[in-house]
Structure 1
Amino acid sequence: MVEQFCGTWTLTASENFDDYMKAIGVNFATRQLGNAIKPDLVISVDEAGVVTVKSVSTFKSTEIRFRLNEEFSEVTADGRSTKTVVSLENGKLVQKQTWDGKQTTLEREIRGGLLTAKCIMGDVFAVRTYKPA
């Protein structure tokens, strides 16, 4: 089921991302960069079931590798050190990051040929939309 997410995706729209970054504690300068960057998302899975998600931009690129439902340590693009678990729930790739007693969730799903990523922190959420590259 992860295979439907595999490929290269280009960011085309970002709604409420600045408020989401504020909610998770990202400083002003980093938020300015985060709002200006239009990263590509590259998702793949190998024969052993290890999923790789790369966020690639001219400013900064990040990569996480994981198996579904197994906790791993992640250092986010904004520098947070999190304990992260990614699962497949109702056709969505759900990533839960926990740090300093806080938790945020990223729900990725494919709709109408587009990948949407809903970023949720408490009652604040952002939606980022990607098209196939």
Structure 2
Amino acid sequence: MEEFLNKEYVLQSSENFEDYLEFMGINYFSRKIASTLKMVQCLERNEDGTYTFHFKSKLASSQTKFIPGEEFEETKADGVKVKALITFEGDEMTHVQIESNGRTSKHVRKFYHDKLIVTTTAVGFDKTVTRVYELLIK
């Protein structure tokens, strides 16, 4: 993961994202807003050995601080608290979120030198979300 730290990736394309948000119970207005945001994602390692994953846009931003392989409580952008686990394997970061009702989502982020591809699946959701981000050159 070292080579992907502190790099920003901006959203370029998205498939099935709004359908996923609807499946997750996000209201129409919020789905429309979320679907139009040009999100930027960035992974950082902190001095204490933890990591922070940032989600940024002009309208909203959030961040998740974690230790790879250790379960933690996360508050998603929609305000829902979940049990979460993030692991690293090679150039992939897998992020599993489990809501109190048992609904489970899995986000696999595959890093490349010039892009980031995020695939999202959820138990009971019959589609796969694919979001492609390009490396942001400053």
Give the CA deviation at 1:98.
Answer: 0.4
Task: Map Cα deviations across residues 60-116 of structure 1 (whole Å, 9 max, x no partner).
Answer: 100000000111111111221111000123531000000021100000002462101
The unaligned stretches of length 5 or more in structure 2 are: none
Higher strand share: 1
Deviation larger for 54-63 or 3-12: 3-12
User: 2:128 aligns to what SS in structure 1?
Assistant: strand
What fraction of aligned residue pairs are identical, expressed as a percent?
27
User: 1:124 aligns to what SS in structure 2?
Assistant: coil
User: 2:63 aligns to what SS in structure 1?
Assistant: strand
Contact 1:50–1:66 (8 Å) recurs in 2: yes
**Letter aligned with residue 127 of structure 2:** V
The unaligned stretches of length 5 or more in structure 1 are: none
Contact 1:104–1:121 (8 Å) recurs in 2: yes
Contact 1:23–1:121 (8 Å) recurs in 2: no
1:109 matched residue in structure 2: 110
1:21 matched residue in structure 2: 21
2:133 matched residue in structure 1: 130
1:64 matched residue in structure 2: 64
How many residue pairs get aligned? The number is 132
Q: Return the alpha-carbon distance in structure 2 between the equivalents of residues 4 and 104 of structure 1.
A: 27
TM-score (norm 2): 0.88
TM-score (norm 1): 0.91
RMSD between superposed Cα atoms in Å: 1.5
Give the CA deviation at 1:52.
Answer: 0.7
